[in-house]
Chain A
Amino acid sequence: MQDDDNERHKIEAPVWTEEQIKKRRQRNLAIAWTLAGFILLFFVVTIVKLGGNVANRPM
């Protein structure tokens, strides 16, 4: 009985094929590049908006 229950509730780990792993890596790289671009965009716009005042802060 206990064994039956265990069997019923067992979670099957997904088995990834080579192709799926390749696509996952590709997706992860796309996300990484997008995030890097997003950070760069915020950095550049901040510089553009602040202009010469970037370095102007009280010590």
Chain B
Amino acid sequence: MSDTAYSNDRPEVLRQGGEGSAGDFFELLKPRVMSLVIFTALVGIALAPGGIHPVIGFTALLCIAVGAGASGALNMWYDADIDAKMARTANRPIPSGRVAPQEAAVFGSILSVFSVMTMGVLVNWVAAALLAFTIFFYVAVYTMWLKRRTPQNIVIGGAAGAFPPMIGWAAVTGSVSLESLVLFLIIFMWTPPHFWALALFRSGDYEKVGVPMMPVVAGERETRRQIMIYSVLLVPVTLLPGLMGFAGALYTGATALLGFVFLALAFRVWRAEPGLRQDKAAKGLFAYSIVYLFLVFSLLLVERLLGL
């Protein structure tokens, strides 16, 4: 027995690191979340007035993607204790022992610094500052501070996911404008119904690890009511681009239709009886919410590309 005995019964080499493959480190970047971030940031870049050289635009997207990935890695490092106890996350690189916590922390920190500095040097410092703030917001404000303390965690934490189109816009214009704020608001308002729908049929997992998700703390009835409220707020916000003149009739018409379906599904969740019917309604809304956000941003992009 040496002086450095560990109480943990994992093999020592796992705690020291050196076990993970390149793919395990890539998984730390939460590639699926990253793809949505890249897409919404691309829409921000495409909509911003003035245009940008494709190489600089690509660089901005790369920095946003790496910055988002870095915050994902830092989130996984901080949340490894609860990830290990939830079925959905138990096989992530840290709880499964493939990557040591300190490796993930260093990996995430280095990528954060490099993404922000590269954005500043090669694109502009307004976009870099917004990217730095987004990483700080997701890691410190959401992951470390709010996630385990308040059922409003995802409302405020959702802001971190709403910043990418704003950063994309700032990469082109070097500023923050009302239009980019509207793109931010669309994702910000979309996040609560999206995540609470998930939480309605996954609340057991969150309850087990003590994360105060809305259904756990305030009950399913209140969660269903809040989903309805945020959905009612979301739909008019998605119509703002048309009213403000940076989206056309195609966007406005299609988004109104998509919003109507969103409201109908949210209403079904609101009125559902607890139990299987509620789970079914929540799953329906959750699945549709992903398609919905993708389509709303696609419409903005398509209109701009077609010059409508």
| A24 and B18 contacting across the interface, CB-CB below 8 Å | yes
Q: Is the CB of A23 within 8 A of B20?
A: yes
Choose the segment among B28-36, B54-62, B139-147, B272-280 that binds chain A (4+ C-beta atoms closer than 8 Å).
B54-62
A14 partner residues in chain B, CB cutoff 8 A: 13, 16, 18
Interface size, A (range): 10 to 19
- Of A16, A26, A38, A44, which contacts B55 at CB under 8 A? A44
**Which residues does chain B contribute within 8 Å of A6, judged by CB atoms?**
none
In terms of DSSP, what is the predominant structure of the interface of chain B? helix
Nearest residue (CB) in B for A33 is B22
Complex Cα–Cα for A48 and B122 (A): 10
Contact A27 B55 (CB under 8 A): no
- List 12 extra interface pairs beyond A29-B22, A30-B25, CB under 8 A: A14-B16, A20-B18, A23-B18, A23-B19, A26-B22, A27-B22, A27-B25, A41-B59, A44-B55, A45-B59, A48-B53, A48-B55
CB distance from B139 to the nearest CB of A (A): 22
Cα A44 to Cα B58 in complex, Å, equals: 11
A30 B59 Cβ-Cβ under 8 A: no
With A8-B3, A14-B13, A14-B16 known to touch, is A45 a contact of B25 (CB < 8 Å)? no
Quick check: B13 and A20 within 8 Å, CB to CB? yes
Kindly name the residue among A12, A14, A23, A38 whose own CB sees the greatest number of chain B CB atoms within 10 A.
A23
Q: How far is the CA of A10 from the CA of B296 in the complex (A)?
A: 63
Q: How far is the CB of B101 from chain A (nearest CB, A)?
A: 17
Interface residues of A (CB under 8 A from B): 8, 12, 14, 16, 20, 23-24, 26-27, 29-30, 38, 41-42, 44-45, 48-49
Report the minimum CB–CB distance from A30 to chain B (whole Å): 4
A residues in contact with B13, CB < 8 Å: 14, 20
Judge if B2 is at the interface, Cβ distance under 8 Å: yes
Checking B2, B19, B22, B53 against A30 with a beta-carbon cut-off of 8 angstroms, the contacting residue is: B22
Contacts of A16 in B (CB 8 A): 18
Q: Which residues of B contact A44 (CB under 8 A)?
A: 55
Q: Given A8-B2, A14-B13, A20-B13, are A27 and B53 neighbors across the interface (CB < 8 Å)?
A: no
**Which residues from 1 to 53 on chain B have a C-beta closer than 8 Å to any C-beta of chain A?**
2-3, 13, 16, 18-22, 25, 53
Pairwise interchain contact A42-B19, C-beta atoms closer than 8 A? no
